[in-house]
């Protein structure tokens, strides 16, 4: 075997990792990497071709000397091998720069690829795009997915897709969706537009649609050989799936982002994805695994040196420690996070959780102040709703039923992870007020949490049904500088 330079071997391995969205696909990619290394070729591409559209190649692996190079069978010096398996599925292999010995190795390895990919049934093994048949963005996503399936075609086909996208919303689409339409012929602009559109959908709780946009962004980044965007898009897809309580998809995309970050040694992105994995474990009730993910992230965050990421991980550790009843340990992480966090958006979410720590620790006045500041600072509708609901719950803990009814937000369309929290604290508030409806509400929350596999809230609802609310006791004291800072911040914002 020819031993290639380390930089080329790393480039091949990176490209494998960028395509690990299914087991069959990843095995085929690893075998093809051997083909590239052993043949001495300067690049390779392997894909499935749909028999009805022979000209459509869905690339599974693309390794090129120059980043951003898009492969085409018409390039000079390119050898194409087309093989049919079981008379149904057509595989296309392209090699460039291989000698005759390399081509012989390619033929033998191609047979091995075909044999080990017997489970491949979907042409291209492209990651599935979560779509809904109804809703404002259903037609738009279908049209955008057609552009993805065409390999992000330019020129004439891009024009046709642009017309379809405009028809899906209106003649002159504005905002983030309009930016996507206008950027179809420019991959670099399209990547930015898809990112903005995905975040807009996610913030509006169109979670499946947001996940679909992130998957499309991931595939575009693969074609552009942009590993940074690949990592971000995969992590964002995991987050959107997590919020929608679609756990297998969330885990798959988070793990893909983690593998790429580990391979590239990108510590900041590795901290981010480990924090997301910890959140997934915690919401599913796997608290030891959540704690381990957070601790791994915390260790790496010390090396990475990013204060915002350290603050986010400290928040995760605070949350899991508070859930375990270790309030002193949780408070230590909370004050650390508060001192590190400088991002205004992240600070709103942090103060929401700090308020809950203070409330559980018996300092109701400081908790309410933290909730009020969080509600004003928050840019996310979800954080504002949770802060308002937390203030209502504090009123119930004080025994003020009228204030509770006045403050309680009316949740319209919300994600499962938000809806289950609103329901739980609705039941807890009714318990605190001595309302007989509490048992019925908590039973409904338990069923809802079980249906969405939100084990953290299923366990909490089940426990609250059989145990009374604990009397608040002063177990957490907010330091003077925290109390003073919250008071001054609230005064400045109101």
Quick check: 106 and 38 in contact, CB under 8 A? Answer: no
Asked if residue 139 and residue 119 are part of one domain, the reply reads no
Quick check: 285 and 459 in contact, CB under 8 A? Answer: yes
Residue 169 covered by a domain: yes
Quick check: 415 and 244 in contact, CB under 8 A? Answer: yes
**Residue finishing a domain among 264, 284, 300:** 264
Element (H, E) at 80: strand 78-85
Residue 102 covered by a domain: yes
Distance CA(102)–CA(83), nearest Å, equals 18
Residue 330 covered by a domain: no
- Other Cβ atoms closer than 10 A to 241: 26
Task: Please give the torsion angle defined by the CA atoms of residues 17, 23, 28 and 29, in that order, rounded to the nearest 10 degrees.
Answer: 0
- In the numeric block, which tokens belong to residue 245? 């309580």
CATH classification at residue 53: 3.30.450
Distance CA(111)–CA(104), nearest Å, equals 11
CATH classification at residue 210: 1.25.40
Mean pLDDT (the chain, rounded): 77
Instruction: Give the pLDDT confidence score for residue 425 in this predicted structure.
Output: 92
What tens digit of pLDDT does each residue of 79-99 get?
776 665 555 555 566 777 666
| Interhelix angle 207-224/138-149, nearest 10 degrees | 20
Instruction: Give the pLDDT confidence score for residue 301 in this predicted structure.
Output: 94
HSE-CB of 360 using CA atoms within 13 angstroms: 18
Only one residue has tokens 């119930």, namely 396
Only one residue has tokens 């085929």, namely 28
Asked if residue 182 and residue 140 are part of one domain, the reply reads yes
Instruction: Give the pLDDT confidence score for residue 43 in this predicted structure.
Output: 65
Asked if residue 170 and residue 65 are part of one domain, the reply reads no
Quick check: 454 and 245 in contact, CB under 8 A? Answer: yes
Q: Cα separations (Å) of 459 from 323, 447, 449, 450, 453?
A: 11, 11, 9, 9, 11
- Mark the ranges of the chain whose per-residue pLDDT is less than 50: 1-5, 20, 50-60, 117-126
Strand partners of residue 256: none
- In the numeric block, which tokens belong to residue 318? 């605070």
Asked if residue 41 and residue 63 are part of one domain, the reply reads yes
Residue 393 covered by a domain: no
190 CB burial (10 A radius; 0-12, 13-18, 19+): buried
Quick check: 257 and 234 in contact, CB under 8 A? Answer: yes
Quick check: 349 and 337 in contact, CB under 8 A? Answer: no
Domain hosting residue 76, numbered range: 6-125
- Other Cβ atoms closer than 10 A to 391: 21
- Kindly give the pairing relationship between strand 43-49 and strand 89-96: antiparallel
Residue 329 covered by a domain: no
In sign, the C-alpha dihedral spanning 229, 235, 239, 240 is: positive
Distance CA(150)–CA(154), nearest Å, equals 9
Asked if residue 258 and residue 167 are part of one domain, the reply reads yes
Asked if residue 253 and residue 134 are part of one domain, the reply reads yes
Residue 467 covered by a domain: no
Instruction: Give the pLDDT confidence score for residue 124 in this predicted structure.
Output: 38
Asked if residue 166 and residue 104 are part of one domain, the reply reads no
Distance CA(226)–CA(211), nearest Å, equals 19
Asked if residue 109 and residue 11 are part of one domain, the reply reads yes
Element (H, E) at 359: helix 344-360
Element (H, E) at 47: strand 43-49
Only one residue has tokens 């420019």, namely 186
Local structure of 211: helix, strand or coil:
helix
Query: Which letter does DSSP use for residue 96 in this model?
Result: E
In sign, the C-alpha dihedral spanning 199, 204, 207, 209 is: negative
Q: How many residues are there in the chain? A: 494
What tens digit of pLDDT does each residue of 24-83 get?
555 556 666 666 666 666 666 665 554 444 344 444 455 555 555 555 666 666 777 666
> In the chain, how many domains are there?
2
**Residue finishing a domain among 216, 231, 264:** 264
Q: Find all residues with CB under 8 Å of 461, minimum gap 6, and list them.
A: 423, 424, 427, 442, 443, 445, 446, 449
């Amino acid at each position: 075997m020819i031993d290639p330079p380390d930089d080329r071997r790393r480039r091949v391995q990176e490209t494998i990792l960028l395509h690990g969205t299914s087991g069959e696909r990843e095995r085929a990619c690893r075998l093809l990497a051997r083909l590239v290394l052993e043949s001495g070729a300067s690049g390779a591409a392997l894909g499935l071709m749909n028999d009805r559209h022979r000209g459509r190649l869905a690339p599974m692996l693309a390794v090129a000397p120059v980043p951003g190079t898009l492969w085409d069978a018409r390039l000079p010096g390119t050898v194409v091998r087309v093989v049919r398996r079981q008379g149904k599925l057509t595989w296309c292999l392209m090699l460039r720069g291989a000698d005759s010995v390399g081509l012989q190795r390619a033929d033998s390895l191609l047979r091995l690829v075909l044999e080990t990919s017997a489970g491949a049934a979907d042409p291209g093994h492209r990651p599935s795009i979560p779509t809904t048949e109804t809703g404002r963005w259903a037609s738009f996503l279908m049209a955008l997915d057609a552009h993805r399936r065409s390999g992000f075609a330019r020129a004439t086909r891009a024009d046709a897709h642009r017309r379809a996208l405009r028809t899906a919303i209106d003649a002159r689409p504005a905002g983030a969706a309009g930016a996507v339409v206008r950027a179809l012929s420019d991959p670099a602009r399209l990547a930015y537009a898809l990112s903005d559109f995905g975040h807009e959908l996610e913030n509006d709780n169109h979670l499946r649609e947001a996940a679909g946009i992130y998957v499309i962004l991931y595939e575009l980044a693969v074609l552009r050989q942009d590993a940074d965007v690949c990592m971000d898009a995969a992590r964002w897809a995991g987050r959107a799936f997590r919020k929608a309580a679609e756990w297998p998809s969330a885990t798959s995309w988070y793990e893909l982002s983690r593998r790429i970050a580990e391979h590239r040694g990108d510590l900041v992105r590795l901290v981010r994805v480990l924090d997301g994995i910890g959140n997934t474990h915690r919401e599913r009730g796997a608290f030891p695994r959540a704690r381990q993910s957070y601790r791994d992230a915390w260790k790496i965050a010390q090396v990475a040196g990013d204060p915002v990421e350290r603050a986010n991980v400290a928040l995760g550790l605070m949350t899991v420690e508070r859930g375990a009843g270790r309030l002193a340990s949780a408070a230590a992480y909370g004050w650390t996070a508060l001192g590190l966090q400088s991002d205004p958006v992240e600070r709103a979410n942090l103060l929401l959780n700090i308020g809950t720590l203070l409330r559980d620790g018996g300092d109701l006045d400081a908790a309410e102040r933290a909730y009020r500041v969080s509600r004003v600072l928050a840019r996310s509708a979800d954080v504002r709703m949770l802060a308002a609901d937390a203030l209502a719950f504090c009123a119930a803990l004080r025994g003020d039923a009228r204030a509770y009814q006045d403050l309680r937000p009316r949740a319209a369309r919300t994600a499962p992870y938000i809806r289950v929290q609103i329901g739980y604290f609705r039941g807890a508030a009714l318990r605190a007020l001595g309302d007989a409806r509490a048992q019925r509400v908590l039973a409904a929350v338990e069923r809802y949490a079980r249906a969405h596999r939100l084990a953290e809230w299923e366990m909490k609802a089940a426990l609250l049904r059989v145990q009374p609310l604990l009397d608040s006791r002063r177990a957490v004291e907010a330091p003077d500088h925290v109390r003073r800072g919250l008071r001054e911040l609230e005064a400045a914002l109101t």
